Amino acid sequence: MAIKVYGSMISTATLRVLLCLAEKDLDYELIFIDLATGEHKSPHMLSNNPFGQIPAFEDGDIKLIESRAIMQYIVRKYADKGTELMSSDPKKMAEQSVWMEVESQKFEPATTKLIWELCMKRFLFGKKGDDAVVAELLPALGRLLDVYEARLSESKYLGGDGFSLADLYHVPVIKFLTEAETKMKKLFHARPHVSAWVTDVLSRPACLKVFCKHAYCKGG
Amino acid sequence: MATPVTVYGPPLSTAVSRVLVCLLEKDVPFQLVPISMAKGEHKKPDYLKIQPFGQVPAFQDDEITLFESRAICRYIAEKNPSKGTMGLFGTNPLVKASIDQWLEAESQSFNPPSSILAFQLVFAPRMKLKQDEALIKQNEAKLVKVLDVYENRLGESRYLAGDEFTLADLSHLPNTQYLVEKANRAELFTSRKNVGRWWDEISSRPSWKKVVEMQNAPPQ
């Protein structure tokens, strides 16, 4: 039975799941949910996702919410397809799991407002973000990226030697932010190991495949 | 008998107590190294080597050093499947998907407002910091919405992920304990029939009672 994703190409959480499906060479149907009209808060979507968020995910009888939980399900269920993404070695898995949590507990909170100011305001309302708000948020993200720089000077990817969910979790936000403004791009590329990592993860075939459907992430 | 695992950090920290209750549920012997945050021990170079963000907890066993409480809990549960509470991280992929989904709900929806409230209502007064009333109000409103979703969910199943107590429930214990017992916000939970029943059940587990005892013990 077909995999269905209810979501939007301007939602980083939706894109996270689509990237995972692409890495796993899985076909899916994307059912567009219009954030601009508040469709994610409509009764039919609330029955899919009681938090009124996207994405919602169906694989046959299985219904799931929460992008990161959906990705872990996909990786476990389709272990023999595409890129591995989660190691079967418990020690390697634990290291990947640490950096998956760093994304969820540190990177996401440090970037949510930046994504809102620099991307969502433009995508949804055609408006420019508030420069003062952005300027206030940059130092904290810079400090976080300093820790990433140290980590990525020891290992090629966040979770270890191989590309994993720990990296993939970051991709939509990095894609949006680095293309939104030159100063955001500079923030990532000022750090040599972070810079190499960003270039690497954004040029993966799965990433190119998902984002080529997505011309409007540049230029609104 | 294996060497006990080591947890760095004070039991009063919500993230440390999350790891402690997981170890107790899994009957894994541990020793606690109570990093003094008042003395800034968490920012010392030796500690930063094992926890690059300078936060608690950190975790070590004979194979690995980890940080991020939820990643540590996953590791402990995966490593000790047949010890203590067997179903803590699920015994089949479907249950695991449900646990992951509600763990992510905790991490992304419940934790942000409840952490801010615990800090503002419990820790700020202890540290003689001024409380931010607007922030408290805003996050109380966010938490109410999350608890309404939980109320529905817990009307359908005994625990968040299904019929068994799992990591998804466990992860909620630390912040809820502060809000119910120390912040005068018990009503948020007890005024909701199913959430109240769930809280009574999970907070009266021997593992959690033991952690609360450790939290209340006078500092050594």
pLDDT of residue B187: 96
> Is beta strand A56-59 parallel, antiparallel or unpaired with respect to B5-8?
unpaired
Please count the structural domains in chain A.
2
Mutate to test the interface with A, among B50, B59, B75, B152 (most CBs of A within 10 A): B75
What CATH number is attached to the domain comprising B56?
A: 3.40.30.10
> Does residue B101 sit at the A interface (CB-CB below 8 Å)?
yes
Read off the pLDDT of residues A95-104 as tens digits, 9 standing for 90 and up. 999 999 999 9
- B97 and B204 part of one domain: yes
* CB spacing of A91 vs B103 below 8 angstroms: no
Q: Which helix (H) or strand (E) holds A31?
A: strand A28-32
pLDDT band for B56, please (50, 70, 90 cuts).
Answer: very high
Rounded CA gap, A180 and A139, in Å? 17
pLDDT greater than 90 at residue A212 = no
CB nearest to A69's CB, from B71, B97, B152: B97
- B46 and B101 part of one domain: no
pLDDT greater than 80 at residue B170 = yes
How many residues are there in chain B?
220
- B97 and B80 part of one domain: no
pLDDT of residue B2: 67
pLDDT greater than 50 at residue B108 = yes
Q: Search chain A and give the residue with CA nearest B68.
A: A98
Contact A39, A32 (CB under 8 A): no
> Does residue B64 sit at the A interface (CB-CB below 8 Å)?
yes
What CATH number is attached to the domain comprising A50?
A: 3.40.30.10
- B78 and B110 part of one domain: no
pLDDT of residue B220: 58
Q: Search chain A and give the residue with CA nearest B63.
A: A91
- A38 and A70 part of one domain: yes
- B97 and B174 part of one domain: yes
What residues in A contact B68, CB-CB < 8 Å?
97-98, 101-102, 105
- The residues near A15 (Cβ < 8 Å, ≥ 6 apart) are A9, A171, A172, A175, A210
What CATH number is attached to the domain comprising A185?
A: 1.20.1050.10
Query: What residues form DSSP beta bridges with A157?
Result: A160
Query: What residues form DSSP beta bridges with B5?
Result: B30
Rounded CA gap, A113 and A116, in Å? 5
Q: Structural domain of residue B149, as residue ranges? A: 93-208
> Does residue B70 sit at the A interface (CB-CB below 8 Å)?
yes
* CB spacing of B71 vs A98 below 8 angstroms: yes
Taking the alpha carbons at both ends of chain B, their separation in whole angstroms is: 28
Mutate to test the interface with B, among A17, A59, A66 (most CBs of B within 10 A): A66
User: What ipTM does the predicted assembly reach?
Assistant: 0.94
Read off the pLDDT of residues B130-164 as tens digits, 9 standing for 90 and up. 999 999 999 999 999 999 999 999 999 999 999 99
Q: Which tokens is B212 given?
A: 């609360």
Read off the pLDDT of residues B38-49 as tens digits, 9 standing for 90 and up. 899 999 999 999
> Does residue B58 sit at the A interface (CB-CB below 8 Å)?
no
Mean pLDDT, chain A, rounded, equals 94
Is B218 within a domain?
A: no
